[in-house]
Amino acid sequence: MTFDYRSFGESEGVPRQVVDIQGQIEDFHAAIKYAREYEGLDSERIALWGSLLGGGHVISAASQDPRIAAVVAQIPFNGFPRKVEGRSTITTIKILAAMIRDLIRKKYHKDPYYIRAVGNIGELAVMSSSEAHKTIEAMASKNWKNEIAPRALFEMMKYKPSDAAPNIKAPVLICYGEHDLETTSDTTKELVAKLVNCETKSYPVAHFDFYREGIRDKITSDQIAFLKKNM
């Protein structure tokens, strides 16, 4: 079962394209509740799967729900890296200015000031790299918009799913890339160290390779094997 977070895709909510971390975790719990009440589905055999920010959310959601049977967190967000590869000081200042501008617009109940979620090197975007740009350019979805309200970055700067990780008793699979510059190995290792029952799978790829055909199939196969073993 897949779902769109509030204010994204087919879900309702205004203003649009605004990341609300606590709201998105609540959306996970709403989806879990719906699944548990779905006729013919075993309510005690529900697993959570998430990628990037969603990979952090499944950790947070599972820590609040002891009935979750298993968790798969793919390239999970666990705080921003200390240094963003390829991002200049000038670009960093521009992003901070955009964040402040958007926050002021929120205070005065105005529409968000949007920037790109993903861009090429040198562009004003949350994630900027040639690989990120190529991946997004290849995507085809009527629901996808390459824009986001940067106010969310203030909340994301404080968000560490590893803080909640020790509360999870269910088996957890962490899948990460050995050459990932967006969700770096140090933040991932910090998360793994906090989990009581954890398996890891590493792949000799970069962050956005996880979404490429072929590589994605191998990773998905490993994830399905984990779920079959634990459920």
Question: How confident is the model at residue 84, as a pLDDT?
Answer: 66
Alpha carbon distances (Å) from 153 to 33, 82, 87, 183: 29, 14, 16, 15
176 strand-pairing partners: 202
Q: Which of 151, 164, 57, 147 has its CA nearest to residue 104?
A: 151
- Contact between 28 and 64 (Cβ < 8 Å): no
Question: How confident is the model at residue 120, as a pLDDT?
Answer: 83
Mean pLDDT of the chain: 93
- Contact between 111 and 105 (Cβ < 8 Å): yes
SS3 174: strand
Which tens digits make up the pLDDT trace of 186-200? 999 999 999 999 999
Handedness of CA 34, 78, 134, 93 (dihedral sign): positive
Kindly state the DSSP code that residue 225 receives in the 8-state scheme: H
Instruction: Supply φ then ψ for residue 220, to 5 degrees.
Output: -60, -40
Residue-level pLDDT, tens digit, the chain, 231 residues: 999 999 999 999 999 999 999 999 999 999 999 999 999 999 999 999 999 999 999 999 999 999 999 999 999 999 988 766 667 888 889 999 999 999 999 999 999 999 999 888 878 999 887 777 777 777 777 888 899 999 999 999 999 999 999 999 999 999 999 999 889 889 999 999 999 999 999 999 999 899 888 899 999 999 999 999 999
3-state helix, strand, coil in the chain (%, to 5): 40, 15, 45
| CA–CA distance, 159 with 53 (Å, rounded to integer) | 10
